[in-house]
Amino acid sequence: MLPAHYMGLRKVFADFPVPREASTGLPVGGLAGLEEHYRDLSKRYGYTLAASEADINDLGYKYLYAKPPDLASAISTLKHNTELFPDSPNAFDSLSDAYFRSRQGEAGIASGEKAVALAREQKDSRLERLESDLTYYWLGVASLKAWFGQDAELASTARHAVEHAAGSTDPVVLERTGQMALLASKADKEQAKAGLNLIRRAVELGKDHRFLPYFQLSLGVAEYRNGNYAAADQALSGATLAGDTNYDVLCASAFYEAMSQFRQGKETEARALLQEAISMMPPLPADPKDPLAGNHTQNDLGPWMAYKEAITLLKMEGPGELEFKRRRDALEDARGLIRKAIEEFASGLSRDATAHLAAASADVPNNTELSLLVAALQAWFGEDAELAATVRRTTEFANGTSYPVTAERAAKSGLIRPSADKAQLEASLALARRAVELGKNDRDGLPWFQMALGMAEYRSGNYPAADDALREAVQISNDNRYVRLTASFYRAMSLFRQGKENESRALFTQTASTMKPLPIDEENPLGGNLMNDDLVAWMAYKEAKSLLKI
């Protein structure tokens, strides 16, 4: 097509685009305005034009994600879409989403079931996603029924979901359905057994699934509900290792493992585990009658209910309402500080952003991922006093932890830069050794734990031990770039300290050739990418380069 033709057609059909509000992007006049626009076009061009399913669906979601959301308009728009396109699975799925977000769970389930039924009838390629969406909504409704103690209604919902999932080979559908059958602390034996069978199947089918930590958690709950306490411990430990930073997984796993150990007569271990889990859990909702208000989601309900069940079984007192209020306020403050820091990073004000992240980290010391990022930034900018405070706080929080990731991050925060503080180095070494011991069966985490151990042995002057740990970290890392770079730079320094200068320089040179270049602007090293791993590797490179005089 010639440019002149293109421009001519644009002029002829200039009235085709839907007129939109400049501030919101919504069609002028909303749904009525959208349909009026197409009626006018039909009259003008002499044939019928109408808003498409996608047009109306898009409008519904614009209402749904507006700030603040216009839930009533979203529902009416998406419901109208199902009336215009009654054979569309996607139209009913979208309406289900709107109902669920407006807390009309039963209506959402009915619409979701209609979407799945249509998709099955039409052999729609989106069937698996639609079934997954439906079970997510179902689980949310069931979790709220469990929260409010509506046992009869919960049992009915669970039975319906189990029947619906019969024959499914989707591990997400199987796990969520099995979870529904186990929400009640006194689930009947038949229901508990059905839940166990579904979840065992989910774990078998989902060995490499990204939701494996959730599958392992649910398996642990299922084994616990069926009285298989040793099997519950094994599954819950697996969930803890795989869960990494999923605090809903970590906390719920610990609460159920504490109950399992208590049932086996291990009261001391159970109480210690419960106490640590309480320190990491999301604070209970301000209004128990409206638990999902604010930033809470249905994923918070599981840990909360597990917490309540655990403190009742172990006859322990949890934090009072004043403490939970303090935690809620601290969490909200931290979120505000993190938002401000993100804006500052984007504006190139990285030192100001670091100070705000440090304040956020002090508010939420259980977020060890944030603590490590703060430590890396403080080390990068040479803020020694602030770094020492972060390291002390993180080390204190991690003392006696049962979580290898917590131990590894706390250890690493104290090892990023050389230190003359012997007591802190000893504490970091102890934490690194604990991480390796706790995480020895964690295929994905062990390379990181071994690297932290190698860093700790190096800082402590134990160079042969550092070599062993760092070499092992690289060998089992599956070529993880961050582990390989940082571990190799530390090993180059360790070799140099042992007088193996040629080997040291060769390793350094080879490793440096594969490293991401240093930041162009060292005052803004992350460029908006809030990850500590590049910083740690770059600082290891700089330290090794200086030591080896390269």
- How many domains is the chain partitioned into structurally? 2
Which domain, by its residues, includes 524? 324-548
Query: Which domain-ending residue is among 318, 340, 374?
Result: 318
The answer on 314 and 329 residing in a single domain is no
Determine contact, residues 377/351, Cβ cutoff 8 Å.
Answer: no
Query: Which domain-ending residue is among 291, 318, 345?
Result: 318
Q: Is residue 99 domain-resident? A: no
Q: Is residue 275 domain-resident? A: yes
CA distance 239 to 254: 9
Asked whether residue 76 carries a pLDDT value surpassing 70, the answer given is yes
CATH number at residue 541: 1.25.40.10
How is the chain split among helix, strand and coil, in percent rounded to 5? 70, 0, 30
What pLDDT digit, counting tens, does each position of 78-132 carry?
999 999 999 999 999 999 999 999 989 999 999 999 999 999 999 999 999 999 9
At residue 31 the predicted structure's pLDDT band, cuts being 50, 70 and 90, is confident
Residues 6+ apart with CB under 8 A from 253: 216, 217, 220, 236, 237, 239, 240, 243
Q: Which residue has the tokens 């591990």?
A: 171
The answer on 146 and 222 residing in a single domain is yes
Determine contact, residues 218/270, Cβ cutoff 8 Å.
Answer: no
The answer on 273 and 417 residing in a single domain is no
The answer on 359 and 291 residing in a single domain is no
Determine contact, residues 463/496, Cβ cutoff 8 Å.
Answer: no
Give mean pLDDT, residues 302-325. Answer: 93
CA distance 407 to 395: 8
Q: Chain-wide mean pLDDT for the chain?
A: 90
The total number of residues shown for the chain amounts to: 550
Residues 64/66/67/69 CA torsion (nearest 10 deg): -30
Q: What is the pLDDT of residue 446?
A: 94
At residue 15 the predicted structure's pLDDT band, cuts being 50, 70 and 90, is low
Determine contact, residues 506/530, Cβ cutoff 8 Å.
Answer: no
What pLDDT digit, counting tens, does each position of 255-298 carry?
999 999 999 999 999 999 999 899 888 889 999 999 988 778 88
Query: Which domain-ending residue is among 296, 318, 340?
Result: 318
Burial label for 32, CB within 10 Å (0-12, 13-18, 19+), is exposed
At residue 16 the predicted structure's pLDDT band, cuts being 50, 70 and 90, is low
Asked whether residue 46 carries a pLDDT value surpassing 90, the answer given is no
What pLDDT digit, counting tens, does each position of 214-244 carry?
999 999 999 999 999 999 999 998 888 775 5
The answer on 527 and 378 residing in a single domain is yes
Q: How far is CA 349 from CA 379, 381, 384, 529, in A?
A: 16, 12, 19, 14
Asked whether residue 6 carries a pLDDT value surpassing 50, the answer given is no
Asked whether residue 67 carries a pLDDT value surpassing 50, the answer given is yes
Q: What is the CA radius of gyration of the chain?
A: 28
The answer on 275 and 351 residing in a single domain is no
What pLDDT digit, counting tens, does each position of 352-388 carry?
999 999 999 999 998 999 999 999 999 999 999 999 9
